Structure 1
Amino acid sequence: MSGSCAAAEETAGSRQRLQKKVNEYKENQNISSASLRPAQNTILEKTVKVCLVPFSLRNYKPGQFKLPKSLLEKNSNNELPCKKYKKAEIKKTCTRISTSKMDATTSSKAESTLQKSSVDVHTGNNQRQHKSTSDTAILGVDMESIQDGDSDEDTSGPDGFSGLSPYERRRLKNISENANFFASLQLSESAARLREMIEKRQPPESKRKKPKKKENETGCRQSMRLRNVDPPEVSLPATPTKLTLVAEEKPLLPPGPLEMTPENRDDNSELFKEFLQTWAEVSKTSNKNVEKELSSIKIYKDNLSGMAISEDTVHKLTKGAIYSVAFHPSEIKTLVAAGAKSGQVGLWDLTHQPKEDGVYVFQPHRGAVGCLYFSPANPAHILSLSYDGTLRCGDFSRAVFEEVYRNEESSLSSFDFLAEDASTLIVGHWDGSMSLVDRRTPGTSPEKLINSSMRKIRTVHVHPVQRQYFITTGLRDIHIYDARRLNPRGNQPLISVTAHTKSIASAYFSPLTGNRIVTTCADCKLRIYDSSCISSEIPLLTTIRYNTITGRWLTRFRAVWDPKQEDCIIIGSMAHPRQVEIFHETGKRVHSFFNGEYLVSVCSINAMHPTRYILAGGNSSGKIHVFMN
């Protein structure tokens, strides 16, 4: 009995001591939960722990938070090993106490085990409060080895890790050695220095000055020939001196008369003397009072159909584009004249064979010959006007080009005869002014400069019956003036037509009565006006749509009247095959001249013989094409 009582007392004392240890453990738990450790909530005997750890990249070390895969698998139930350890030991101890066969040795061992586990837990809690984030992660995992009986061993070792298994001590030792190794590399210091270098402001780059190229400096590789170096034992030929080509301005020809000297042959040749004598005699015997009758359209068409072109009626007459064409009025000889852009005047006698012997080219001007007429009073005279500001008269009887008018300050554009005897002329200037020239008073200021209301004058044409009226072509308008009312200070036109939308190339009166006016405009329209009554307005009769766009390399089209036919006009064409067309004043096409073998270019300037059915067309290369019966 006494032994039983002693055992019971001893058991009761063990229970009291155990209860005391449990209370102390709870107090320690409360103290630790009141410290920096996060709060723990137990639900259904499962504890959820949330660790808040200060984090900074500045003290970060590579591999610091990486955990072994085995530890992650062991802790997949979200319970700390230390907590498992506590529950298991407490349950084991209570089971041993409740067993009646437990002896004092076993009870004392359980007591020591519980005391040691509580101390270890308390020590672990204090260490988690003061350790860094890496130590907290290490000490908080992989504690199952303690549950297997490792807790009974002496876990203090020389490395300073107490309460851990040999495996954990080895693992923590490796971690520590790795951390020391990476610390010895001084990666953080290198990163800081690199960061300072990047953040440091770079000075602005100064613009590099290009070095001046030396004159004698050799750039890329060059051959000995380009470097002007003699090859060994061979001497280079002397390099010729380079001639500097300077664009020479063509000066004006001297004032006064010029000798009629042909450029394509000797002026003392027998052919040229015979040419001058023949044309002087033809001009004296020419019939000046030929009556011009208007034939019917049917007869006119039949005569046009009989006109043809051949190899003998095509010839290059001048250098450069042809700007003007005129026919001599003779009915015995066929003489065509052409004025070129180069300032040349070419004469071609088509009745002379071979045709090369009937061609004569002269140079009376330096600028383009924009207007060319045979004198109505003396057909042995041919008058030519040039853009260089000179107007000359070629006299075949004396073989000389006389100077009729000269103006070096203004460029001339066109002229026409005011009087039937060709004694007075009206001359148009490109700047919009006009000049009245009287050939009967040479040498005593024969010209009279008149200002007009136009900014530019392209063509001038006199009325064939009422010769006091003349028409001028401006930029986009045409004006009709009365020569008897011209004032040097300024003049207002009798009639002004402003219906054209683009620039006008020409405007001409009809040849017999002057009752019609034809204009050629860049808006691809030919307009015919009724000028039978010259009053404040002239009505528009017909508008013919026609392609008048020749471009910059071709001479502009100018529609002209057939001097034999009052109501028909002649104009070149851009159509294929190349052709020259004739229109009636009503807008109907009367006839087209074309030949695919001998007419292969655009004839911009055309003229018809005054009494015969002969047509001459000039192109922009100086070639004349003649259609004749």
Structure 2
Amino acid sequence: MLGIHCLFVHVLFSYLHPSRVKPKKPEEELVRRRSMRLQRVDPSGAPLPEIPAQPDSVIDDYVRWGRRKEEILPIPDTSLNQMILTEDAVTKVVKNRIYSVAVHPSESRTLVAAGDKSGQIGLWDLNSKGEDGVYVFIPHSQPVSCMSFSPLNPAHLLSLSYDGTIRCGDVTRAIFEEVYRTKEKSSSCFDFLADNASTLVVGHWDGDVAVVDKRTPGTSSELSANINSKTIRTVHVHPVNRQYFVAAGAMNVCIYDARYLKPNGNKPISTLSGHTKSVASAYFSPITGDKVVTTCADDKLRVYETSSLSSTIPVLTAIKHNNNTGRWLTRFRAIWDPKQEDCIVVGSMARPRQIEVFQATGEQLHSFYNVDYLGSVCSINAMHPTKNILVGGNSSGRLHVFKD
């Protein structure tokens, strides 16, 4: 195993850190800065003024990827048609059912990650041939339900497990360090509250959320908040106004302001109504956050207009979709293509086996399938942030990568 890890470091180090200068050893170990914002005091220790009750719903004119709203165009069908699945883009990377998938943002290589039911994390470098590009680690003891490469340092892969821990894996050193641990709760999901990945919002199966500041010594949270939900399956932070996050639980999907969170008595600023069964996921659209897509067990994908955060937000579009995956498949989670504002990607129970793409209006744009190399349901999917790459994970630990 040590030899595999060393090989992995050699392969990845060159393109994750093409030129790294060894830092000078400090004379004294620096003490991590505590988050004064989360303690609601200024640097002098004086209490901060109360935040206005009505949140500002104006979204900045500039959006992610350096484009304005008016420059955002629907994804063309030709782009989707050019993405194909080949025999060498299908590989088993973990032992058991896949619960989470992440795609590295590198432009030069294709590196994907999968977390499985037993706590394994598999990293697959598609630029290496066959099984030589697969590296497996066991940083957790229970299902890995959420993973993401750090927006500050793409060499860091953060993973969350049902075992109540979040670990930060440095893929250049094959070391997973513990960022967060809770003994009392089982964790379900996380997202970055800050652009620099310094703070996280973490969801728990019992319906609580926690705010974690990685700069604070130790592995405990800054705050644990009861948001009056029976359970939380996903949390997702607004891509522009990052104080807002959406939490999906039993039949409730609500948007909260992280600045207002307190241990008890929290109220949402918006409720996304209309779900009649449990909700598997809810995600803001990736560029403006003007929409939210949800996946519900009542066999519907719902799209909500969230450009203005009123107290109750009705359904904008309801898409009929078979979400009855049963007990042996991971539940579907409809996601947005991070390059587009209105392109939804979701697994499918249809035959031949496929991954479906919808517009926010409900129109089906495309189906990714290959009768020769895709014969199973890809419940969990992820797309590259800038390139035409789609990764689908199934319940036997296998990844399928469509690319142009």
TM-score by length of 2: 0.85
Structure 2 residue aligned with 1:543: 318
**Cα pair 1:276 1:399 within 8 Å, conserved:** no
Q: Match for residue 330 of structure 1?
A: 106
The amino acid across from 1:323 in the alignment is Y
| Partner SS for 2:17 | helix
In the alignment, structure 1 residue 401 sits paired with structure 2 residue 176: yes
Structure-2 separation of matches of 1:267 and 1:410: 36
Q: Could you tell me which residue of structure 1 aligns to residue 193 of structure 2?
A: 418
The higher relative CO (CA closer than 8 Å, separation ≥ 6) is in 2
Partners of 2:122 and 2:276 in 1: how far apart?
Answer: 36
- One-letter amino acid matched to 2:84: A
Counterpart amino acid of residue 117 in structure 2: K
Whole-angstrom distance in 2 between the partners of 1:444 and 1:409: 14
1:376 and 2:151 correspond: yes
1:271 touches 1:357 (CA, 8 Å); kept in 2?
Answer: no
Amino acid at match of 1:320: N
Question: For residues 628 and 621 of structure 1, what CA distance do their matches in structure 2 show?
Answer: 22
- Distance in 2 of aligned mates of 1:591 and 1:317: 27
Residue deviations 1:158-200 (CA, integer Å, cap 9, x gap) = xxxxxxxxxxxxxxxxxxxxxxxxxxxxxxxxxxxxxxxxxxx
1:340 to 116, 119, 124: 116
Aligned to 1:301: 77
Cα 1:409–1:310, aligned 2, differ >3 Å: closer, same or farther?
A: same
Alignment partner, residue 40 of structure 1: none
Q: Counterpart amino acid of 1:304?
A: L
Q: Give the distance between the partners of 2:158 and 2:198, measured in 1 at CA.
A: 12
Q: Structure 1: any 5+ residue segments left out of the alignment?
A: 1-264
Structure 1 residues 457, 510: closer, same or farther in 2, change over 3 A? same
Q: SS in structure 2 opposite 1:357?
A: helix
Aligned equivalent of 1:553:
328
After superposition, the C-alpha distances for 1:544-585 in whole angstroms (9 at most, x for unaligned) are: 011110111011111000001110100011111000010001
Deviation at 1:408, TM superposition (A): 1.5
1:291 corresponds to 2:66: yes
Distance (whole Å) between structure 1 residues aligned to residue 19 and residue 372 of structure 2: 35
Which of 483, 493, 514 aligns to 2:289? It is: 514
Task: Give the alignment of 1:255-334 within 5 angstroms.
Answer: 265-267=1-3, 271-281=7-17, 290-291=65-66, 296-297=73-74, 300-334=76-110
Report the residue type matching 1:410 in the other structure.
K
Aligned residue type for 2:256:
Y
State the TM-score, normalizing by the size of structure 1: 0.55
2:157 pairs with 1:385: no
Higher helix share: 1
The offset of 1:453, in angstroms, is: 1.0
Match of 1:468 in 2: 243
- Percent identity over paired residues: 60
| Structure in which a larger fraction of residues adopt strand | 2
Q: Any stretches of 5+ residues in structure 2 without a counterpart? A: 21-63
RMSD of Structure 2 on Structure 1 (CA) = 1.9
Alpha-carbon deviation of 1:442?
A: 1.6
Counterparts in 2 of 1:28-427, with a 5 A limit? Answer: 265-267=1-3, 271-281=7-17, 290-291=65-66, 296-297=73-74, 300-352=76-128, 354-427=129-202
* Alignment length (residue pairs): 360
Q: How far is 1:540 from its partner? A: 1.6
Residues 1:604 and 2:379 are matched in the alignment: yes
- Structure 1 distance, partners of 2:281, 2:116, is 18
- Report the CA distance shift for 1:444/1:520 in structure 2 as closer, same or farther (over 3 A): closer
User: How far did residue 443 of structure 1 move?
Assistant: 2.2
2:381, 2:146 → 1: CA distance?
12
Note the C-alpha offset of 1:282. 5.6
Contact conserved, 2:239 with 2:286, CA < 8 A, in 1?
yes
Q: Which amino acid aligns with 1:617?
A: G
Indicate if the aligned counterparts of 1:282 and 1:330 stay in contact, CA closer than 8 A.
Answer: no
Equivalent-residue separation in structure 2 for 1:575 and 1:487 (angstroms): 44
Provide the C-alpha distance between the structure 2 equivalents of 1:462 and 1:527, rounded to a whole number of angstroms: 18
